[in-house]
Structure 1
Amino acid sequence: MSRVVSMLAPWRRAVRALRIWRAVVVLLAFLWWDGQAWTYAGGPTPERREQRQQQRARWLTRELLELGSAFIKLGQLLSARPDVLPAGWVAELADLQDKVPAFPFDQAQALLEEELGARCAEIIDLDVEPLGAASLAQVHRASLRSGRQVVLKIQRPGLESVFRLDLEVMQQVAAVLQRHPQWGRGRDWVAIAQECRRVLLRELDFRLEAQHAARFRQQFLDESRIRVPGVIWELSTRRVLCLDYLPGIKINDRSALIQAGIDPGEVAEIGAASYLQQLVRYGFFHADPHPGNLAVAADGALIYYDFGMMGQLSERLRRRLGAMVRAAASRDAAALVEEMQAAGVIAGDVDVGPVRRLVRLMLRDALTPPFSANVIDKLSGDLYELVYGQPFRLPVEMIFVMRALSTFEGVGRSLDPGFSLVGIAKPYLLPLMTSSGSGSNDLFNELGRQVGALSSRAVGIPRRLDESLERLEQGDLQLQIRMGESDRQFRRMVTAQHSIGQSVLLGGLAVAAALMGASARPLWALLPLGAAVPVGMGWLKLQVKLRKDARLESLSSTQH
């Protein structure tokens, strides 16, 4: 029997690889089709394009769910890359929840015995029906001999071998995309695939999740209104995670909370305050706060579940965030753009004029009182639109921050329609506005740095004046005037002219091919058809360039 299974294994791998490649080819065909203006009945209006994009994003979500565990996690990781995918796709993938059927109870028992050995004797009561099932594992409630109530997160059998095959095919797909002259431009698909491989393989090791849970619990040990389950280390391994059982009411079940005598508005404030503590004070935060991972205890305390996806802000990024908050609070778009460049959010060699203008508009719209209830959601949406196809490279940590805050903002509004995350955030952001949040001397250090920069510039003024006067005397001084809007319009006009010229040329070649095809020597029609191929490729590239320019201009007009 084992020999038959080993003989069938290569065939199963081949079938699995073909299934993945079929989905990739269909997706690329959809993207090509959507890029053609003639495929839209009545013309490609922004509304029709957005509707088509939503359809494709939903199709991709369904495909990832059907492909299974690795691709569900891949979709969740891609939802943190708005510089790679359009904003509509990012929003759809961010809601990707891996609810899959549970595997049989006897397989769960067999894996427990394999992983724990004699330690299984500590478990005296294991529920047959799981509390929940996902793509990586399912959770069973149990009792220990000591009377302690726990939950056991048990990994799906044979998951690692399937993961490795899927990740291998992902690497192949990334290599193909990278070699394409259009899709590979400006994006390192191979590096993205390698990063996904590293993250996904780490998520298979439940010992890392146990460390995350323990660290997260340590942050809130003195907070009576926050509950984090403790780890039972002696019953936790690479494929089994044992945590304390903390029952609660699902956080978005508003009616159940009211029946239990719990104020939903107070729960929203507790959650918002705990999130701001995670970001500002600790730099280690829960990156997936959807309602399935949050509950409310009988006394109104907030309970966190599932620590597989956590975010961490480096000390350097936290300092930069403090500087960004100060710049945003003072509405200084130039300083904010400068800090974003220093943090690596914006490429250092790009024209920051259009970027500064868009940032100024975002600050005016998002940070002008009275604040809208969904200010974080709106700000993250503007940011996602801004970074797609542009010289922005948002750090993954910042994307997780924005997504976590916007997700919790939605949870807060479901609990209390008047919930405002910005209002609750004010006391937590004040330390960042006055310092970087890491010490009382930071404000003086910052002032000293600015005075030093100002003095160095002042010292250099006489030398620069002398050089400018010398060039003026020699007739070498040139005055360059750059008008960002006019410059962009001029480039679009030139591109449009080239497109029109190539369209006329294509039409002429088509007429020539038709005339030659109807003549006594129809094979001569191949000559104009062959000449039309490179002209057509150039025309397609111009159309892509025109669409990119139109997307940036439409973003600017909507901000106005």
Structure 2
Amino acid sequence: MAAPSSPGILLSRFWRPLRIWRLVVQLLAGLWWDGRPWSYPGGRTPERQAARQRRRARWLTSQFLELGSAFIKLGQLLSARPDVLPADVVEELAHLQDRVPAFPFPVVESLLEQELGERRAEIIDLAVEPLGSASLAQVHRASLRSGRQVVFKVQRPGLERLFRLDLEVLQQVAAVVQRHPRWGAGRDWVGIAKECRRVLLRELDFRLEAEHAARFRQQFLDDPGIRIPAVIWELSSRRVLCLDYLPGIKINDREALVRAGIDPAAVAEKGAASYLQQLVRFGFFHADPHPGNLAVAGDGSLIYYDFGMMGQISERLRSRIGRMVRAAAARDASGLVDELQQAGVIAQGIDPGPVRRLVRVMLTEALTPPFSANVLDKLSGDLYELVYDQPFRLPPELIFVMRALSTFEGVGRSLDPGFSLVTIARPYLLPLMTASGNGPNELFNEISRQAAEVGSRALGIPRRLEESLSRIEQGDLQVLIRAGETDRLLRRLALAQQSSGQSFLLGGLAVAAALLAASSRPALVAVPLVLGLPVGLSWLKLQSRLKRDGRLDQLPGVAAASRRE
């Protein structure tokens, strides 16, 4: 391995871990402070707590931007994990975009010489000013001897060394957090750190991005309305990617599209159709369709850029999604929860009642016509609220799907205020609703399975009725009524009574300590202080339990759903 090229790298190996650990300590201290009721002037309210959490999320995003490449990409990955981060943090990280200055042009030329060797002679005109600069690389336009117009994506120098250093420190942080009895409960931070390391190091290999671009282009070869730049393989390597130059108008520049004689509404519909094809037909989709990665050619064709972040839906997951779509279309909350539980999305052995009520709220409010303009945004928000601190473990690819659809819906609305992705999606969802995309056999098997299940239940009804009547006659029948909301309220009432009793006891001990401190024997003040220590710790635990039990009540629409049960 080559020696570090500058003293700055040597200093970074010493100071950077300290900088990362300082951020961790600041974050944990801030979260502890935000969780204390007495830290809110005028008392803690849900509104004040939500506002402070949003400020904390914005601060964390700015810190990730300051730390640079690895943390920008880490934030983008963590934005697909609403099961481990609060909704406000997830939404802020999802908007994390690269804002990194370009590195000098001589460095670009040096890297091209190193990576391409003699093939560098094919490049006869390389633009000095980059077309764009991001955390991983910057892009320069160039001309080849053949006359072909291309762009070169050149990786930042020393990036892999910095990535490995940052990821090593993050694994240490994950191990420390995992050992904490509360922060580590129910979350595999070490596993998340390892997965982030694997994904981020793979993204440093531009040969994989070249394969993604080639596969994505293959999907739309027969569609003249979609353009994906071709890969020039002989001028690409691990740290350099060469693609065809496809200029276009930025997709959210509505005025420029109109001046070019292009209908923005048609562009929005074309983009939505292409995206739904990626999800339903191919199972391989662009996971980051923000306006910087989409453009429109002069003839109205849609151009996709940047294939570093792609998503894939397996056949098994697509089949499972088909059954979920059918249940959602029928407003069958119980069926949807059963499908989620069979898929391992919901933990086994939990009370499905609260989850079923939350799913019913989502189906009723978000998927009831007429669809609101921001139906995908609403679904994503409900999903994030539903997943965090609940018995959910959604596959990351599903979160990427929801986030990508939500992002694209925002792009569509910027082009056409009347844009509705759900309306355009209907013909693409029909295969999922009927046969999960697997032909008529799947539908026939599903109908047969349901018919057999109904038949077996029907045949068992007379026997069950006879058993129930016999038990009634013998006086052995017991009726168990479970009121989930009542049980929860009674439990909270008992906790509140315990908390009140301990508060009075703490107050009495405080008064005793004050009297003893003012007496002729002030040393005795240690007695009430020692007695008050375990009581105070128990009181703090009760407050934590009350706060945790109260989170469910704070979710919008849950109370109304509970009354409808």
Residue 143 of structure 1 aligns with an amino acid whose one-letter code is S
Residue in 1 that maps onto 2:95: 95
Residue in 2 that maps onto 1:38: 38
> CA–CA distance in 2 between the matches of 1:502 and 1:180?
26
The Cα offsets for residues 56-109 of structure 1, whole Å up to 9 and x where unpaired, read as 111001100011111111111111111111111111110000120011111111
> CA–CA distance in 2 between the matches of 1:422 and 1:371?
8
Q: Percent identity, aligned pairs only?
A: 74
Residue in 2 that maps onto 1:24: 24
- After TM superposition, the structure 1 = structure 2 runs for residues 91-240 of structure 1, keeping only pairs within 5 Å, are 91-240=91-240
The Cα offsets for residues 377-428 of structure 1, whole Å up to 9 and x where unpaired, read as 1111111111111111111011001100000000000001010111111111
Q: What's the secondary structure of 1:97's corresponding residue?
A: coil
Q: What's the secondary structure of 2:555's corresponding residue?
A: helix
The Cα offsets for residues 423-450 of structure 1, whole Å up to 9 and x where unpaired, read as 1111111111111112122110101121
Residue 144 of structure 1 aligns with an amino acid whose one-letter code is L
In 2, are the aligned partners of 1:257 and 1:264 still within 8 Å (CA)? Answer: yes
- The alpha carbon displacement at 1:531 in A equals 3.7
State the aligned residue count.
559
Q: Unaligned regions of 5+ residues in structure 1, if any?
A: none
The Cα offsets for residues 539-560 of structure 1, whole Å up to 9 and x where unpaired, read as 2232222222222112154673
In 2, are the aligned partners of 1:227 and 1:302 still within 8 Å (CA)? Answer: yes
> CA–CA distance in 2 between the matches of 1:302 and 1:502?
66
> CA–CA distance in 1 between the matches of 2:409 and 2:107?
39
> CA–CA distance in 2 between the matches of 1:370 and 1:432?
22
> CA–CA distance in 2 between the matches of 1:19 and 1:471?
71
- The alpha carbon displacement at 1:515 in A equals 3.1
The Cα offsets for residues 327-369 of structure 1, whole Å up to 9 and x where unpaired, read as 1111111111111112222112111111112211211111211
Q: What's the secondary structure of 1:308's corresponding residue?
A: coil
> CA–CA distance in 2 between the matches of 1:474 and 1:156?
82
Q: What's the secondary structure of 1:441's corresponding residue?
A: helix
Q: What's the secondary structure of 2:547's corresponding residue?
A: helix
- The alpha carbon displacement at 1:127 in A equals 0.9
- After TM superposition, the structure 1 = structure 2 runs for residues 153-552 of structure 1, keeping only pairs within 5 Å, are 153-458=153-458, 478-552=478-552
Which stretch has the larger CA shift, 429-438 or 504-513? 504-513
- The alpha carbon displacement at 1:533 in A equals 3.4
Q: What's the secondary structure of 1:152's corresponding residue?
A: strand
Q: What's the secondary structure of 1:242's corresponding residue?
A: strand
Q: 1:121 to 1:10 in 2, by over 3 A?
A: closer
> CA–CA distance in 2 between the matches of 1:190 and 1:537?
29
- The alpha carbon displacement at 1:498 in A equals 2.0
The ranges of structure 1 where at least 4 consecutive aligned residues each deviate by more than 6 angstroms after the TM superposition are 2-10, 462-476
Q: What's the secondary structure of 1:371's corresponding residue?
A: coil
In 2, are the aligned partners of 1:126 and 1:142 still within 8 Å (CA)? Answer: yes
Which stretch has the larger CA shift, 533-542 or 157-166? 533-542
> CA–CA distance in 2 between the matches of 1:204 and 1:537?
48
The alignment's C-alpha RMSD in Å is: 2.2
Residue in 1 that maps onto 2:563: none
In 2, are the aligned partners of 1:358 and 1:559 still within 8 Å (CA)? Answer: no
Q: 1:4 to 1:181 in 2, by over 3 A?
A: closer
> CA–CA distance in 2 between the matches of 1:471 and 1:156?
77
- The alpha carbon displacement at 1:478 in A equals 4.4
In 2, are the aligned partners of 1:251 and 1:291 still within 8 Å (CA)? Answer: yes
Q: Unaligned regions of 5+ residues in structure 2, if any?
A: 561-565
In 1, are the aligned partners of 2:358 and 2:558 still within 8 Å (CA)? Answer: no
In 2, are the aligned partners of 1:154 and 1:239 still within 8 Å (CA)? Answer: yes
In 1, are the aligned partners of 2:152 and 2:243 still within 8 Å (CA)? Answer: yes
Which stretch has the larger CA shift, 531-540 or 245-254? 531-540
> CA–CA distance in 1 between the matches of 2:457 and 2:287?
42
TM-score norm. by structure 1 comes to 0.95
Residue 220 of structure 1 aligns with an amino acid whose one-letter code is F
> CA–CA distance in 1 between the matches of 2:247 and 2:4?
46
Q: 1:179 to 1:476 in 2, by over 3 A?
A: farther
TM-score norm. by structure 2 comes to 0.94
> CA–CA distance in 2 between the matches of 1:361 and 1:319?
25
Which stretch has the larger CA shift, 514-523 or 59-68? 514-523
